[in-house]
Amino acid sequence: MSQTWEKQEGNEGILTITIPSAELDTALDEAFKKVSKEVSMPGFRKGKVPRQMFEKRFGVESLYQDALDILLPANYGKAVDEAGITPVAQPDVEVEQIEKGKDVILKATVTVEPEVKLGEYKNLEGEEIDTEVTDEEVDHQIDHILTEYSDLVVKEEGTVEEGDVATIDFHGFVDGEAFEGGHAHDYEIEVGSNSFIPGFEEQMVGMEIGEEKDVNVTFPEEYHAEELAGKEAVFQVKVNALKQKETPELTDEFVSELENRDAKTVDELKAELSKEVKAEKENNYEVTLKESLVAKAADNADIDVPDAMVDTETSRMLQEFEQNLSQQGLNLELYTQLSGQDENALREQMKEDALKRVRTNLTLRQIADEENIEVTDEDVDAELNRLAEQFGMPLDDVKKALGDAEMIKEDVKIQKALNVLVDNRKKAE
């Protein structure tokens, strides 16, 4: 096999692949063995038709496509390696010559990774967020814990207040007509949770048990049901019952009974929460800093990103989205029904972020090349150990799950490129 690569405009080129006639002969033999199993001719059983008679009746040309299917995958891979190119989409292959006794000549139009011309990537100013922990932030965490341990107590009398759980009947009307899904009996709603249509819960505040009231709202413009989006509606609401949250008192005794906590006193709990908030803010600091720096580096780079790469990344993002849905007990089909968006609409929404991802990744890889970044076996081992600790898995199980270490090497190389941006950023004065 031999090849020639001719770069064309943009990110396309012509890869000419020449395959020796001897390989064609071998492929034709394999193709005949495959095809002959299904061919029947008078006087012969399936699989027993002589080659000569087969070619006389059907022509050797009838085997060419099967032979090409045998020849193309391996030879295309070799040609790509020899040419030193990185395809980003399936090639468009044309047969220039195929004839028994002659070399096979194929011309493949290939879209390849774009050339990346780096701009300024050092001395960039990144976004650095504050990592100091305030008393208010700790108090917020405490309030969250107290809320988790709150009990719901029936209110025998009184009115609806923020935080109450109300049991209601409601009937919704648009232009005086009831609409599908607009009514319910003994529906529980936490007032102030903003889980219902904007404005609905606010208008319930002050209602008494047994009281009926008309609640006027406007459906959001982006509402999943298109026929209701942006429409004004009236809900006839009746409060059947009320429950209020009874929050426990923050005491040493309460703290000592908390699950999955080392703290035994209020002060110890505050110190523990302060450390947790600090760790989270420091992690957010690092993430925010790196994201802001690489975004600027990518903006400064000159990259003509092929549509094929954006499409591939969009498909990957959609797959991630489906995986996240499955963790919530949903699937894409059900989501599209609930949201009123089909798969094409979702893909269109993801395209801009997909383009940013591709530009970012290409920029970081080019920085890695520019900085001659190397990944050692020790780097790979360290990353594997980190992943094992992160996911609580035995090291061997992580290795088995990941399989090829090349993916890990690429991830580590990208992380090292990010560190170059961080280490060489413009420091705040």
Residues 341 and 235 in one domain: no
Residues 242 and 278 in one domain: no
The pLDDT of residue 46 is: 63
Residues 213 and 304 in one domain: no
Q: Does residue 128 form part of some domain?
A: no
Query: Which residues are 17's β-sheet partners?
Result: 3, 106
Per residue in 15-70, pLDDT tens? 999 999 999 989 988 988 888 777 766 656 666 677 887 778 788 888 899 999 99
Q: The tokens of 134 are what?
A: 């305030």
Say how many Å lie between the first and final Cα of the chain, rounded: 61
User: 369: domain CATH number?
Assistant: 1.10.3120.10
Amino acid symbol at 249: E
The pLDDT of residue 325 is: 86
Which candidate, 375, 359, 358, 357, places its Cα nearest to that of 411?
Answer: 375
Burial of 121 (0-12, 13-18, 19+ CB in 10 A): buried
The pLDDT of residue 428 is: 67
Cα gap 290→420, rounded to integer Å: 10
What are residue 107's phi and psi, to 5 degrees?
Answer: -120, 115
Q: Does residue 261 form part of some domain?
A: no
The pLDDT of residue 147 is: 87
Looking at residue 55, the DSSP 8-state letter turns out to be H
Q: Does residue 254 form part of some domain?
A: no
Cβ atoms within 10 Å, residue 48? 12
Give the sheet arrangement for strand 2-7, strand by strand.
Answer: 2-7, 12-19, 104-111, 92-97
Helix (H, G, I), strand (E, B) or coil at 107: strand
b/e 222-261 (16+ beta carbons within 10 angstroms → b): ebeeeebeeeebebebbbeebbbeeeeebeeeebeeeeee
Residues 61 and 194 in one domain: no
Q: Which of 51, 84, 112 is the last residue of a domain?
A: 112
Residues 271 and 393 in one domain: yes
Q: Which of 195, 215, 246 is the last residue of a domain?
A: 246
- Matching residue, tokens 């009996």: 185
Cα gap 66→54, rounded to integer Å: 15
The secondary structure of 198-246 as a DSSP string is TTHHHHHTTPBTT-EEEEEEE--TT-SSTTTTT-EEEEEEEEEEEEEEE
Contact 363, 294 (CB under 8 A): yes
Q: Does residue 39 form part of some domain?
A: yes
* Regions in the chain scoring below 50 on pLDDT: none
Residues 165 and 64 in one domain: no
Residues 313 and 405 in one domain: yes
Cβ atoms within 10 Å, residue 158? 11
The pLDDT of residue 179 is: 87
User: 207: domain CATH number?
Assistant: 3.10.50.40
Q: What share of the chain is helix, strand, coil (3-state, %, to 5)?
A: 50, 20, 30
The pLDDT of residue 336 is: 79
Residues 308 and 347 in one domain: yes
The pLDDT of residue 31 is: 86
Q: The tokens of 367 are what?
A: 């920085």
Cα gap 296→300, rounded to integer Å: 6
407 Cβ partners below 8 Å, 6+ apart?
none
The pLDDT of residue 111 is: 94
User: 50: domain CATH number?
Assistant: 3.30.70.1050
Name the residue range of residue 20's domain.
2-112
Q: Which of 81, 112, 143 is the last residue of a domain?
A: 112
Q: The tokens of 318 are what?
A: 């959609």
**H or E element: which one contains 15?**
strand 12-19
CA trace torsion 23, 24, 28, 30 (10° rounding) = 30
Residues 210 and 320 in one domain: no
Residues 274 and 414 in one domain: yes
Residues 57 and 106 in one domain: yes
Q: Does residue 43 form part of some domain?
A: yes
Cα gap 169→184, rounded to integer Å: 6
The pLDDT of residue 344 is: 87
Q: Does residue 255 form part of some domain?
A: no
Q: What angle do CA 163, 164, 167 make, to 5 degrees?
A: 140
Q: Does residue 169 form part of some domain?
A: yes
Q: Does residue 343 form part of some domain?
A: yes
Residues 304 and 402 in one domain: yes
Q: The tokens of 331 are what?
A: 């699937």
Counted domains in the chain: 3
**H or E element: which one contains 181?**
strand 177-190
Helix (H, G, I), strand (E, B) or coil at 5: strand
